[in-house]
Amino acid sequence: MGNSLTSYLDTDNLPSIDGDAMAGALMDAADGATSGGGDGLDYLSFSGKTGIYALGKNKDEVDPDQLYLVEPQTFSGGWVCWKASKPIDRVQWSVYKADEQAVGINDLEYHGPYRENAGEGWQQLLGFACIGLDVVNSQVSFSSTSKSGRNAIGDLMQEIGARSAAGEPNMPLVTFDKTSFEAQGFKQYKPVLDVEAWVTRESAAAYMAGDLNEDQLIAGDKPKAKRKKKSRKK
């Protein structure tokens, strides 16, 4: 594993959040956003018209069987302003610092006039960061402003929050899937986050350090304690 992936999961680089605090923040953020690329990460986008995930500047397609490890402490909320089907402005914050950093829609910069029937204007956002297993430097940021996308992310946040409160493994291994539906006579798609397994931070860190392989991580194996070297008697 590359050093960048190992350091990405280093808790020293993330806020210290206990299980109850994590549960409360995730559930509050999920409720607020579903009712209506960070630095060094590749942005993963999803098209509701084609059902295609596109990764990074090259718009690479995503392997539907590729596993991604979600870091619960990277969940974010915010707003994206859309004009002519393109994002022109973004305001984003950690869900754990929402009380300090969140911005209301009335305090956002006006980029109008907007064509509301074309989906222009400020739209709520939910997002998170994750790491592709066995893919060197695959650090990915996924976010969505669509209602179906926010629902998918919000459901994952709720489940992580419940597991955090119960003291259960709360780092999900997910695949990026999709499902189709009909809307106004047209076929549309929405993202689906399939959870393949739940792992502990200890096991995730051990995998990044090379002490567990992918099968052991998925199976929930714990890293073996390293033997202490006995000092030689003189």
Token pair listed for 208: 């990044």
Sketch the domain layout of the chain as residue ranges.
3-219
- pLDDT of res. 232: 52
Alpha carbon 86 to chain centroid, angstroms: 22
- pLDDT of res. 57: 87
Q: What is the mean pLDDT of residues 153-176?
A: 92
Write out pLDDT tens, residues 111-145. Answer: 999 998 888 999 999 999 998 887 655 788 999 99
- The answer to whether 180 and 188 have CB atoms below 8 angstroms apart is yes
Burial 7-17, CB ≥16 within 10 A → b, else e = ebbeeeeeeeb
In terms of Cβ atoms closer than 10 Å to its own Cβ (0-12, 13-18, 19+), residue 19 is: middle
Alpha carbon 201 to chain centroid, angstroms: 15
Write out pLDDT tens, residues 13-44. Answer: 334 444 444 444 444 444 444 333 445 678 99
| 32: helix, strand or coil | helix
Q: What is the mean pLDDT of residues 8-13?
A: 40
Token pair listed for 60: 């690479």
Write out pLDDT tens, residues 64-92. Answer: 999 999 989 889 999 999 999 899 999 99
CA–CA gap between residue 143 and residue 43 (Å, rounded): 8
Bigger pLDDT: 230 or 202? Answer: 202
| 23: helix, strand or coil | helix
In terms of Cβ atoms closer than 10 Å to its own Cβ (0-12, 13-18, 19+), residue 113 is: exposed
Task: Give the confidence band of 228 by pLDDT, cuts at 50, 70, 90.
Answer: low
CA–CA gap between residue 69 and residue 195 (Å, rounded): 10
CA–CA gap between residue 37 and residue 125 (Å, rounded): 12
